[in-house]
């Protein structure tokens, strides 16, 4: 018998896994000074069913949003194509801002 986590547990685990995936992807690209903030606590009042994650890295900021279902689907690991694509886009956005600033 496979035990499935409750909705609340799945959300917390999924959010933790997504945050770890973002951090490791950013560090792999050389962005070390980073901070992540999210709207998970106040999410229901702001945008029902959505989580907004703001990432600050090396003086730049980018934002990514996930649905509650996307977060809960990542309770075991971040392997959904859509979630991975959003993380990659977030990192690409921060890196392109870095390159644009370097060109100035």
* Domain limits, the chain: 7-99
Regions of the chain with pLDDT less than 70 = 1-7, 40-48, 98-104
- Output phi, psi for 76, to 5 deg: -100, -45
Contact assessment for residue 14 and residue 75, using Cβ atoms and an 8 Å cutoff: yes
Q: How far is it, in rounded angstroms, from Cα 8 to Cα 14?
A: 10
pLDDT, position 3 = 45
Query: In the numeric block, which tokens belong to residue 81?
Result: 């194509």
Helix (H, G, I), strand (E, B) or coil at 55: strand
Tell me the CA distances in angstroms from 104 to 59, 60, 91, 98, 100, one per residue in order: 15, 15, 20, 10, 7
What's the confidence (pLDDT) of residue 1? 41
d(CA 29, CA 98): 11
């Amino acid at each position: 018998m496979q035990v499935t986590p409750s909705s609340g547990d799945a959300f917390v685990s999924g959010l933790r896994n997504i945050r770890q995936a973002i951090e490791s992807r950013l560090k792999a690209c050389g962005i070390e000074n980073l901070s992540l903030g999210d709207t998970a606590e106040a999410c229901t009042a702001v945008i029902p069913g959505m989580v907004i994650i703001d990432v600050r890295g090396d003086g730049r900021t980018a934002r990514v949003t996930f649905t509650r279902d996307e977060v809960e689907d990542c309770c075991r690991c971040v392997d959904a194509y859509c979630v991975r694509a959003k993380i990659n886009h977030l990192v690409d956005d921060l890196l392109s801002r870095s390159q644009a600033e370097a060109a100035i």
